């Protein structure tokens, strides 16, 4: 039977305590974030939002009896700069189409392929309610833009066609999912197509990306 030295046991115990403590802290934050407003959650709302958004955002529509009624597609394109300084605008890339291709016929599709881009776009729309695309007051609007941009850049990489990426642009379109034949419900009006402005790309946008 293997015996552990005292320093090794101390490291194992401290690591285990740290993981248990971190898990308990995260569960407590998620509970306070979703609980009805109370003195504690109101006092620390900014800190709670900073931990939860965007990676741990709760989307209760997942459990709702009425599923999503639109298929939303998100595309992106980039502008690059050549060594001689000439700027090139690249073709649109169907980010949603790539996710759908990875899911189709896959018996165990990735959660990332199913939900990451879709939830990022939902998060963006919820924080940019106006037609002009201006973010709502607060930090969530800027956070939603950065989150969407970083998801796309992780897929593009740092270059396109061998040239450094300068800017990125998104567009979206929605198609209504028709109700079943036995339903009297009218199909929902699809959202108007959107084309966002160009967003500059710098080194900070790649921080922590593989």
Residues 6+ apart with CB under 8 A from 49: 33, 139, 140
pTM above 0.75, yes or no: no
Q: How far is CA 78 from CA 84, 159, 200, in A?
A: 18, 9, 10
Are 67 and 178 in contact by the 8 Å Cβ rule? The answer is no
133's tokens = 């695309």
Q: What is the DSSP letter of 39?
A: H
Q: How far is CA 167 from CA 83, 84, 135, 159, 190, in A?
A: 16, 17, 19, 11, 28
pLDDT tens-digit readout, 162-208: 999 999 999 999 888 877 788 787 776 766 788 999 999 999 999 88
* Length, in residues, of the chain: 210
Among the listed ranges 102-111, 134-143, 151-160, which one has the minimum average pLDDT value?
Answer: 134-143
pLDDT greater at residue 63 or residue 187: 187
pLDDT greater at residue 129 or residue 108: 108
Greatest C-alpha distance within the chain = 71
Domain positions in the chain: 6-52, 68-206
Query: Radius of gyration over alpha carbons of the chain, in Å?
Result: 22
- Measured CA to CA, the distance from residue 169 to residue 152 in angstroms comes to 10
- Measured CA to CA, the distance from residue 21 to residue 19 in angstroms comes to 5
Q: What is the pLDDT of residue 52?
A: 79
Which residue do the tokens 């308990």 mark?
24
Q: Is the pLDDT of residue 60 over 60?
A: no
Q: For strand 70-81 and strand 87-89, is the pairing parallel, antiparallel, or unpaired?
A: antiparallel
Nearest to 196 by CA among 137, 148, 136, 140: 148
Q: What is the pLDDT of residue 62?
A: 46
- Measured CA to CA, the distance from residue 82 to residue 30 in angstroms comes to 46
């Amino acid at each position: 039977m293997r015996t552990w030295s005292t320093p090794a046991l101390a490291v194992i115990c401290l690591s285990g305590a740290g993981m248990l403590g971190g898990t308990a802290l995260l569960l407590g934050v998620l509970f306070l974030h979703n609980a009805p407003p109370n003195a504690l959650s109101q006092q620390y709302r900014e800190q709670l939002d900073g931990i939860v958004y965007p990676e741990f955002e709760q989307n209760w529509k997942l459990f709702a009896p009425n599923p999503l009624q639109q298929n939303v597609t998100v595309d992106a394109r980039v502008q690059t700069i050549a060594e001689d300084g000439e700027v090139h605008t690249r073709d649109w890339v169907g980010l949603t189409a790539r996710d759908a291709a990875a899911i189709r016929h896959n018996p165990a599709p990735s959660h990332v392929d199913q939900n990451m881009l879709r939830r990022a776009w939902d998060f963006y729309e919820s924080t940019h309610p106006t037609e002009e695309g201006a973010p709502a007051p607060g930090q969530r609007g800027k956070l939603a833009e950065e989150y969407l941009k970083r998801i796309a850049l992780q897929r593009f990489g740092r270059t396109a066609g061998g040239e450094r990426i300068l800017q990125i642009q998104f567009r979206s379109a929605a198609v209504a999912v028709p109700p079943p034949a036995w339903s009297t419900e009218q199909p929902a009006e699809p959202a108007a197509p959107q084309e966002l402005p160009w967003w500059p790309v710098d080194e900070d946008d790649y921080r922590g990306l593989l």
